[in-house]
Amino acid sequence: MDTILDKYPCTIKTAEMEQVITNVKNSVGEWATDKEILKFLFNCIDLTSLNTEDSADSIREFVDKVNGLQKEYPFVPQVAAMCVYPVFTPVLAGALKAEGVNKAVVSAGFPSSQTFLDVKRLETERAIDFGADEVDIVISVGEFLEGNYEFVGEEIRQIKNVMKEAHLKVILESGALKEDQEIWSASLLAMEYGADFVKTSTGKQQPAASFEAAYVMLNAIKTFHKKTGRKIGFKPAGGISTPEDALVYYGLVREILGEEWLNNELFRIGASRLANHLLTEIHAMETGEKKEIKYF
């Protein structure tokens, strides 16, 4: 495992990171008035329901909202995906009619990842069999922090092996990783072992997403791409509710990875509250009517 991480020495410099984040924040005001950028952000949302109170009926109602979105608001694009607990995969697969919306689930003992590997594999495999296109899992954070990198990597590999053509998003739970080096190493480890996306956080633990963690992860993606030619996606998630925050993540992707990453195959935002806020802003720009929209 040391040989894998040795291939990717950490290149993060704190002063450069702070300057890039500051520069991006300074551009947010301009981007916030561009409805096409706001529509793009909406099109990158993984619309999520991961509540203890979720039921088959509540998820079906949730899906109906997405199915009816463009009839209600024809000037917005669809979201990128809907994400639910794996037990609701059949509901999602059966009820979702909106074109271009992927069916995502969390799996493998989400959000703590504290269960047996065979359970993680089985939960993931069943979700795929019921129609999931994408799976979000969490690394075994405790084992990673203990330095058991091969254990963590092999779990990712074995889960990926049961996923057929579905995409794997690997959550680092970056708020639990206190050093830039840890976030860097976790990112590269996930990518080496089969992640199609790396994702900041579950949203179930604080701190969740941060601009600093995003900066480290995006530079790790850039380094990995230069060495392997593989394009890995990026998904900030957890606590992102305002268009202004989402625009900072958009700007970091644009600055570090470039325009070719600005599509919903390589950039997602895990932020359900953000959807209503973006709808409110876009609706005002399209109609001139300023009112708070609470569609989802």
CB atoms within 10 A of CB 228: 12
Which residues does residue 233 pair with via DSSP β-bridges, in sequence order?
Answer: 197
Query: What distance in Å separates the CA atoms of residue 235 and residue 17, rounded to the nearest whole number?
Result: 19
Specify which residues 134 forms β-bridges with: 104, 167
Q: How far is CA 47 from CA 42, 136, 173, 178, in A?
A: 10, 13, 19, 28
159-184 CB burial, b ≥16 within 10 A, e <16: bbebbeebbbbbbbbbbbbeebebbb
CB atoms within 10 A of CB 15: 7
Enumerate the active-site residues: 136, 199, 235
Q: Cα(93)–Cα(91) distance, rounded to whole angstroms?
A: 6
Cα–Cα distance, 175 to 213 (Å, whole number): 8
